[in-house]
């Protein structure tokens, strides 16, 4: 099973508000790192090349927080109870 197929097995209950926020001015090195390390590919570029984030498919793994922390993220918290990813075991 590919990574994409595996990710498609997950079940999400996204909150309307993002639980992760980008700083207003993320430097290019941090932006490139976020694009590369997020296993769900949620950090992308808009048509003008600015970094954008889609919170709906977040795996809540914390890689982005560990790699860039406050340098690029103004907030990182878990989604409210009852929302976010539903992990499946087995």
Residues that bind ligand SF4 (CB under 6 A): 20, 38-40, 42, 58-64
Least CB distance to ligand SF4 at residue 9 (A)? 15
Closest CB to ligand SF4 among 27 and 63?
Answer: 63
- C-beta closer to ligand SF4: residue 27 or 77: 77
Q: In angstroms, what is the minimal distance from the CB of 62 to ligand SF4? A: 5
27 to each of 9, 18, 47, 79, how far by Cα in Å? 34, 21, 17, 26
| CA distances, 12 to each of 7, 57, 59, 60 (Å) | 11, 7, 9, 11
Least separation in angstroms between residue 28's CB and ligand SF4 is 18
Q: SS3 of 25, please? A: coil
Residue among 27 and 62 whose Cβ is closer to ligand SF4: 62
């Amino acid at each position: 099973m590919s990574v994409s197929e595996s990710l498609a097995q997950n079940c999400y209950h996204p909150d309307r508000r993002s639980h992760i926020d980008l700083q207003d001015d993320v430097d290019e090195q941090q932006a490139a790192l976020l694009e590369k390390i997020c296993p769900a590919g949620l950090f992308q570029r808009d048509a003008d090349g600015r970094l954008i984030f889609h919170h709906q498919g977040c795996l809540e793994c914390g890689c982005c927080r560990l790699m860039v922390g406050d340098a690029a993220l103004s907030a990182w918290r878990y989604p409210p109870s009852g929302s976010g990813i539903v992990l499946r075991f087995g």
